[in-house]
Amino acid sequence: MTRHADYPIDSLYLNRWSPRAFSDKKVSRETLYTILEAARFAPSASNIQPWRFIVAQTEEELATFSEFIAPGNRVWTDNNVPAFILLLADKYRPNGELNPYYAFDAGAAWQSLALQASQLGLVTHALGGFSKDKAREVLQIPDQYEVLTLIALGYQGDKNRLPKELQEREAPNDRRPLSESIVSFK
Ligand SMILES: Cc1cc2nc3c(=O)[nH]c(=O)nc-3n(C[C@H](O)[C@H](O)[C@H](O)COP(=O)(O)O)c2cc1C
């Protein structure tokens, strides 16, 4: 389907979507860093910038990441995704108190990098379907960081590379009307 906006938003927001088929094209260091640079400028509470990124690109790193990805996602991630970004957030303020906004702010960083990637002609696909405990264990992530989301990054590929049932779902999805999101509980 083609996405349609009811109000005149920038095409940037409509063009980003999350395919599962990636091409063999590698993501250069320059491109990867440009995408992460966009995340760097996301807003955050007290400008704490709680986001942290663990990147996987080499064959060895990709194999390590696939150990903690859920089987339902490995059917499309294995031998397909050329780069992963594991999004973490530091849960604490510099004074050691809990930062209640760490996840909110890391979410802003994810959106920034996803839109920058899309503008550069790449695609991203966030995944919650992985074991955060296993990721913490194999990557030796300290407790102060919350493991939030895994992000697949690369160039879009041919959907014929996917298992049949995923080929049928390989298209942008829609959204409920805005009127259903603007609420009042009075
Ligand atoms: C936090 C998060 C977790 C997600 N987890 C998965 C996942 O495990 N597997 C998957 O195929 N897609 C996953 N998705 C992709 C969503 O299903 C997708 O973003 C949503 O349907 C909207 O589609 P769009 O990104 O193409 O606009 C996840 C997205 C987010 C933001």
Separation of CA 151 and ligand 1 centre (Å): 10
| Minimum-distance ligand 1 atom for the alpha carbon of 130 | 8
Q: Are 98 and 158 within 8 A, CB to CB?
A: no
Q: What is the pLDDT of residue 106?
A: 99
Domains of the chain, start order: 24-161 (3.40.109.10)
Q: What average pLDDT does range 129-136 have in this prediction?
A: 98
Q: What is the pLDDT of residue 2?
A: 81
Q: Are 131 and 137 within 8 A, CB to CB?
A: no
| Pocket flag, ligand 1, residue 131 (CB < 6 Å) | no
| Pocket flag, ligand 1, residue 129 (CB < 6 Å) | yes
Separation of CA 137 and ligand 1 centre (Å): 24
Q: What is the pLDDT of residue 156?
A: 98
Residues 6+ apart with CB under 8 A from 66: 74, 77, 78
Q: What distance in Å separates the CA atoms of residue 112 and residue 53, rounded to the nearest whole number?
A: 14
Residue to mutate, 1, 15, 69, 127, ligand 1, most ligand atoms under 8 Å from C-beta: 127
Quote the tokens at residue 117. Answer: 């990637």
Q: What average pLDDT does range 142-166 have in this prediction?
A: 97
Q: What is the pLDDT of residue 1?
A: 63
pLDDT in tens, 15-73: 999 999 999 999 999 999 999 999 999 999 999 999 999 999 999 999 999 999 999 99
pLDDT in tens, 62-115: 999 999 999 999 999 999 999 999 999 999 999 999 999 999 999 999 999 999
